[in-house]
Amino acid sequence: MRDAAHVPFVESGSYPLRKGNTVRPLVDGEPAFRRICEAVEAARRSIWVTVAFVDPGFEMPDGRGSFFDVLDRAHARGLDVRVLFWRHRLLARFRPESHFAGTEADLRLLRERNTRWHARWDQAHENDCQHQKSWIVDAGEAGEAAFVGGINLARKSMVPPGHPATPAGSTHDVYVEVRGPAATDVHHNFVQRWNEASDRAEPDGCWPDARVQTPLTFPCVASPPVGEVPVQIQRTVRRERYRDNSPAPGGVPFDIAGGEFSVANQYRRAIEAARRTLYVEDQAIASAEIVERLHEALSRGVDVVFLAPAEPHPDMAAARLKGASQDFIDSLAALAHHEHFLLAGLVANVPGGGHQAIYVHAKIALVDDGWATIGSANVADRSFYGDTELNASFWHEPTVRALRVELLREHLGHDTSALDDRAALQLFRERARANAARWARGEPLDGLAVALDPARYAS
């Protein structure tokens, strides 16, 4: 068994490596939100959520209604329901549909629904984003569960695995369910953000009324072990905004004058430690230091597949190249010179002819079939050092290998369970490169994966 013990955990973050967990990766929006809703419906005490983006037309699976319907029902059952919403006042003014920023229209919606659960609005540093997406079910109670990932509450994300073409389009994304001691760290993260939400003292910064909202108590004891998986919760946090440095159980106090960048640190360590394979899914490839480490890994014989959007989001492309040095652009393009590197996207066949690009929004990485990270942080300097992010990294060969098999079954239309990680990524390269030729000729594709040219991706 390869549990990738050679991949070091991070010692600079707030939360330690915790043993004794269970983890359950949840691939694509429909299965992920179905499982989250099941956990919400089984909850006995509380539901606490951090939200970045909310699409007004988003509906939960199986006729459960909207995000607000799910939480209203939970509150009606007597649960303590709290939501932290990101607020960017300028963005809310020019793109009010972009997120639930607590505008007058948003507050009117809550009034009309007679929503009684608690909400706070939290701005980020300057133009950064409160980008965490987490759910805590029954925080501090027996059966506490945490969900960490990158899936937005968006219509295009509510899709089944396989991504059949639809008029509205489709987004590929991933969450992970964590139970055990590491769930306590997601709990701790929520308490810190709730207690120090930027707008908690503003007239429009709380719902329904700041006077009925008391601070939450930090957890002082970690949840008991429930499995065998080592997990570490990692973050990006601009700490200068926080005053309370209460540590998590067994963790370390905040360095108020600094910042927590344990997600970036873990990515560096994982790539440097890779011996055989590195598989990444991300909506961005926008970090010069990570691209340089990809070159180093490839030079020592590591097979690398990097899955990104076949058609980059215009904002992401602009952010990647705005002020980008020619050295970075050249370095990204030069990845194509490595025989064992593949940049790929996902494209679905459209019934009757044609193709539809699938937007890759996942933020995950797998090393040597034994270590993985799943969360909200993109491979981009903004996520590593600016936006507030939350990832769960875990060391467990059976779970990581099963995740690799599940993802490649979807992307390649092929079962790689009989293949080791190197053979699986070799098959990925072969099928994606063959599909690129079919895509260029307008022919039906075999699976979803299509090879991309790093040089054109950087242009």
Burial of 267 (C-beta count, 10 Å sphere; 0-12/13-18/19+): buried
Please give the pLDDT value at position 245.
Answer: 74
Please give the pLDDT value at position 329.
Answer: 87
Please give the pLDDT value at position 315.
Answer: 62
Query: Can you tell me whether residue 181 is helix, strand or coil?
Result: helix
Residue intervals of the chain classified under CATH 3.30.870.10 are 18-254, 263-457
Residue 325 CA to chain centroid, in angstroms? 27
Give Cα separations from 427 to 28, 121, 247, 413, 447 (angstroms): 22, 46, 45, 11, 12
The CATH class, in words, for 263-457 is alpha beta
What tens-digit pLDDT sequence spans the chain (459 residues)?
Answer: 457 889 999 998 999 999 999 999 999 999 999 999 999 999 999 999 999 999 988 999 999 999 999 999 999 999 999 999 999 999 998 898 889 999 999 999 999 999 999 999 999 988 899 999 999 999 999 999 999 999 999 999 999 999 999 988 999 999 999 999 999 999 999 999 999 999 999 999 999 987 778 899 999 999 999 999 999 999 999 876 677 778 899 887 766 567 899 999 999 999 999 999 999 999 999 999 999 999 999 999 999 999 999 988 776 566 555 666 888 889 999 999 999 999 999 999 999 999 999 999 999 999 999 999 999 999 999 999 999 999 999 999 999 999 999 999 999 999 999 999 999 999 999 999 999 999 999 999 999 999 999 988 865
Please give the pLDDT value at position 1.
Answer: 41
**403 and 177 in contact (C-beta within 8 Å)?**
no
Please give the pLDDT value at position 254.
Answer: 63
Please give the CATH number for the structural domain made up of 18-254: 3.30.870.10
CB atoms closer than 10 angstroms to residue 155: 17
